[in-house]
Amino acid sequence: MRVISTLPFTLLRMLKSYIFLLLLLVVPMLLLTFFYFILSDAVNESGESYLYETAISQVLVFQLFGGSIVMTFIHYDLFTKHKERMQLLPFHLPMYAASIVACGTLFSIILGVCLMVFSHFVLGVMLGNELWMLVIICLMAILSSLVCLILTFSVKSFKLAERLSEIYGIGFVVLAGLFFPMPQTPFFQFMGSYGNPLALSIMSVKEMNRGNSSEALQYACILLLAIAVLFVVMLLTGRRKWG
Amino acid sequence: MTIASMRGVVKRYGSYVALDCIDFDIYEGEIIGLLGPNGAGKTTLIHALTGLTPVDHGTVSLFGQAKQPFSRQNKERLGLVTQDITIFDELTAKQNLLFFAGVYGLKGKEKQERVKEALDFVGLGDKGDKNPAKFSGGMKRRLNIACALTHRPKLLIMDEPTVGIDPQSRNHILEAVKKLRDNGTTILYTSHYMEEVQAIASRVIIMDQGQMIKEGTVEQLIETIQSEEKVRIDVTEPYLVPVNQLEAIAGVKQVAVAGNQISVISAAGSGNLDRILTIVKERTGVVGIQADKPNLEDVFFTLTGKQLRDRGERE
Ligand SMILES: Nc1ncnc2c1ncn2[C@@H]1O[C@H](COP(=O)(O)OP(=O)(O)OP(=O)(O)O)[C@@H](O)[C@H]1O
Ligand SMILES: [Mg+2]
């Protein structure tokens, strides 16, 4: 398992990718701070503070984009810039790809935890069951990595694959109704709840905090199911790409 | 002993033949130079030799294995310095090397020593903790080379390792390559720079348009074109030179006038210089005379009709 020796370096490379840190850590921190000042003590109809709600969705929204770093690293290391050198190294290339995915997912989870810590200790927002939230963050990070991998494997142009991954992220934010309310048709209702990983993750965290653990678990299971399906799709597209 | 060989290798890109029936051997302990103009197929040849590109025809054998030349075991004995710089910009020079050393299975103290050795080898010993993003082009090139050295490959393939670097870095690299050879590494060295190849290679392959046009030691190659002697004379009034009279001299093959310069090519050993000069001096003033001793560049030119590099490319 020569690949294991590369793990620390891959993770280090990710932690030094300042663009990703800026987009996935600094931007959400600034947004959270902004909301902290404008929402202050406002509460919604069920008596939960808006800030609590916003903090949860902010942390989870950015998990939709976490896979982009996996995508970039896979693209450069396996298919373009470093391709030749990597192909000549005495290790199993798909294992190296898997190690990048693992590091990228961990990277995304770490950023999620940073945002939680920031919300909790800097802004003083109580997030409720933080352990459960961490579980959900993990599921979201894995999901995003898989989506980005499938796009990298199946779309010929990398630029297009990148755009599509952004559409995945922004699309589900919009469909979840976080920007503006969605039409109340069955399709949009489904895409704003069970058909939307972001909505599922937010609902799961909130339900857990309300003490409805069976519902929280149910939402998490849907995410898990999506992960299982996408994992198979990822294997199929990956195999086709490698021929 | 043969370390690598190709037999009848053909590689096509669509209808374009990038490698046209390539045959050659690399022997243990030699530095073999691979010369060719842009697009000759050098990189394609290297990719075919290392298994990075599948070939359409023919066989490749590495370390005596023709059945599975690209096995993991063989990969461990192979080092490739890529034509493009392929280092990790986010890692320090030392971390870059640690990454590769680890993949080759080096561990602990030995790994640290090999990394230091590789850094020293390319003259970056004091730059280990620096980020290559801040390196000069030459330093990046040298780090790119070091990445292929930590595992002490038996066969090192260098695809234009000195492109676009300062003379100091180049000399350092050339010395390092010779030192590697002395330590028992076999090296395939590709370059645009004749002088480099002439200085280090024990054998040279000349390629053009996907074909191997000549192969031999530098001396052998020069001998093949030494059937001719070339004299260049700079004169004051070239239009007065009696070209027919020069052409009539026994052994003269060709007379050409370009600007103020007359070149006369004669068969080797014809000893025509005196006669040529006498005739020319009767009519016009002579400003300069050059009797060329052919070098690798002339060999290349004679064989391909091309300069290896554009004039503008030279420093
Ligand atoms: N993947 C490819 N698809 C199509 N044509 C290719 C491909 N790779 C190389 N070629 C063509 O094959 C020919 C040989 O290219 P190659 O890169 O081997 O030349 P080279 O001798 O290394 O040149 P240079 O000195 O510029 O590096 C070129 O005409 C190039 O356009
Ligand atoms: Mg090339």
Contact at CB, B102 and A5, closer than 8 angstroms: yes
pLDDT reported for residue B226:
67
Q: Is B9 left (phi over 0), alpha (psi -120 to 50) or beta?
A: beta
Q: Which two tokens stand for residue B208?
A: 């053009």
First to last CA, chain A: 23
Query: What is the A111 CA–ligand 2 centroid distance (Å)?
Result: 41
Residues B209 and B259 in one domain: no
- For position B308, what pLDDT does the model report? 63
Q: Give chain B's length.
A: 315
State whether B122 and B57 are in the same domain: yes
**What is the pLDDT averaged over residues B39-55?**
95
Which pLDDT band, with edges at 50, 70 and 90, does B312 fall under?
very low
Classify residue B14: in a domain, yes or no.
Answer: yes
State the average pLDDT over residues B177-206. 91
Amino acid A11: pLDDT: 96
Separation in Å, CA of A95 to nearest CA in chain B: 12
Are residues B215 and B231 both part of a single domain?
Answer: no
Q: How many CB pairs under 8 A join A and B?
A: 59
Kindly state whether residues B169 and B285 are assigned to the same domain: no
The answer as to whether B283 is a domain residue is yes
Instruction: Name the CA dihedral angle for A232, A234, A236, A240, rounded to a multiple of 10 degrees.
Output: -170
Cα of A73 to nearest chain B Cα, Å = 11
pLDDT digits (tens, 9 = 90+) for A123-160: 988 889 999 999 999 999 999 999 999 999 999 999 99
Interface of B with A in 115-174 (CB under 8 A): 147
Per-residue pLDDT, averaged over B2-17, amounts to 95
Name the range with the highest mean pLDDT among A124-133, B219-228, B257-266: A124-133
Do B42 and B23 belong together in one domain? yes
What is the Cα–Cα distance from B71 to B49, expressed in whole angstroms? 13
Same domain for B55 and B120, yes or no, is yes
Question: DSSP of chain B, one letter per residue?
Answer: -EEEEEEEEEEEETTEEEEEEEEEEEETT-EEEEE--TTSSHHHHHHHHHTSS--SEEEEEETTBSSSTT-HHHHTTEEEE-SS----TTS-HHHHHHHHHHHTT--HHHHHHHHHHHHHHTT-TT-TTS-GGGS-HHHHHHHHHHTTTTT--SEEEEESTTTT--HHHHHHHHHHHHHHHHTT-EEEEEES-HHHHHHH-SEEEEEETTEEEEEE-HHHHHHHTTTEEEEEEEES-GGGS-HHHHHTSTTEEEEEEETTEEEEEEETT---HHHHHHHHHHHS-EEEEEEEPP-HHHHHHHHHSS-SS-GGG--
B260 CA: distance to closest CA in chain A (Å) = 50
In this prediction, residue B313 carries a pLDDT of 45
Q: CA–CA distance from A118 to each of A121, A135, A195, B196 (Å)?
A: 6, 18, 30, 58
State the pLDDT confidence band at B36, using cuts at 50, 70 and 90: confident
Q: Is B78 left (phi over 0), alpha (psi -120 to 50) or beta?
A: beta
Condensed to tens digits (0 to 9), the pLDDT of residues B129-138 reads 999 999 988 8
- Check whether residue B73 and residue B189 sit in a common domain: yes
pLDDT 10s digits, B137-160: 889 999 999 999 999 999 999 999
> Among partner residues A12, A82, A88, which is closest to B75 by beta-carbon distance?
A88
Question: In Å, how far from its chain's centre is CA A51?
Answer: 21
Task: State the pLDDT at residue B311.
Answer: 43
**Is B20 inside a domain boundary?**
yes
Q: What is the pLDDT of residue B227?
A: 66
Per-residue pLDDT for B166 more than 70? yes
Of B205, B222, B239, which residue is a domain's last?
Answer: B222
- Spell out which residues of chain A touch residue B103, defining contact as CB-CB under 8 Å: 2-3, 5-6, 89-91
How many structural domains are present in chain B? 2
Which residue in this structure is represented by tokens 């053909």? Answer: B10
Q: Which of A10-19, B115-124, B274-283 has the lowest mean pLDDT?
A: B274-283
Kind and range of the H or E run holding A232: helix A213-242
Ligand 1: residues with CB < 6 A are B 13, 16, 18, 36, 38-44, 83
Residue of B nearest to A88 (CA): B75
- Identify the band that residue B307 occupies on the pLDDT scale cut at 50, 70 and 90: low
Whether residue B100 lies within 8 A of chain A, CB to CB, comes out as yes
- At residue A231, φ and ψ (nearest 5 deg) are -60, -45
Question: Quick one: B191 and B218 in the same domain?
Answer: yes
The larger pLDDT score, comparing residue B223 to residue A223, is at A223
- Chain A nearest-CA distance from B72, in A, is 5
Using the predicted structure, report yes or no on whether residue B167 has a pLDDT greater than 90.
no
ipTM score for this prediction:
0.89
Percent of chain A predicted with pLDDT > 90: 84
Domain for residue B301, yes or no? no
- Claim to verify: residue B30 and residue B126 sit in the same structural domain: yes
Domain ranges for chain A, please list them.
Answer: 2-242
Structural domain that includes position B180 = 2-222
Residue B169 belongs to a domain: yes
**B64-72 LR contacts (CB < 8 Å, sep 24+):** B64/B2, B72/A90
Residue A242: per-residue pLDDT: 75
What distance in Å separates the CA atoms of residue B214 and residue B208, rounded to the nearest whole number? 10
CB A199 within 8 A of CB A176: yes
Residues B196 and B129 occupy one common structural domain: yes
Determine contact: B98 vs chain A, CB below 8 A.
yes
The closest ligand to the CA of B40 turns out to be 1
Judge: B103–A90 Cβ closer than 8 Å, yes or no: yes
Buried b or exposed e, range A158-168, using 16+ CB within 10 angstroms: beebbebbeeb
Query: Candidates B38, B44, B193: which one to mutate for ligand 1, based on the most atoms within 8 Å of Cβ?
Result: B44
Show residues of chain B in contact with A17, CB under 8 Å: 90
User: Do B240 and B138 share a structural domain?
Assistant: no
Q: Which of A12, A84, A87 sits opposite B91 (nearest CB)?
A: A12
pLDDT 10s digits, A220-241: 999 999 999 999 999 999 988 8
pLDDT over 50 (residue B302): yes
Judge whether B122 lies within some domain.
yes
Q: Is residue B114 included in any domain, yes or no? A: yes
Could you say which of B176, B192, B222 is where a domain stops?
B222
pTM recorded for the entire structure: 0.84
Q: Does some domain include residue B309?
A: no
* A19 → chain B, closest CA residue: B90
Share of chain B above pLDDT 70, in %: 95
HSE-up of A74 (CA within 13 Å, CB side)?
Answer: 30
Summarize the confidence of residues A27-39 as an average pLDDT: 92
* Of the candidates B79, B61, B72, B295, the residue with the CA atom closest to the CA atom of residue B187: B79
Are residues B143 and B284 part of one domain?
A: no
**3-state secondary structure (DSSP) of residue A127:** coil
- Distance of residue B99 Cα from the nearest chain A Cα, in angstroms: 6
Which run of H or E residues covers position A198? helix A197-209
Chain A hits for B147, Cβ within 8 Å: 85
Report the residue from B52, B72, B103 with minimal CB separation from A5: B103
Q: Which of B76, B82, B90 sits opposite A84 (nearest CB)?
A: B82
Average of pLDDT values for B180-199? 90
Residues of A with CB under 8 A from a CB of B: 2-3, 5-6, 9, 12-13, 16-17, 81-82, 84-85, 87-91
CA distance B240 to B167: 44
Identify any residues that bridge with B33 across adjacent strands, giving them in sequence order: B189, B204
Interface touch A84/B90, C-beta < 8 Å: no
- Residues A158-208 pLDDT 10s: 999 999 999 999 999 999 988 888 888 999 999 989 999 999 999 999 999
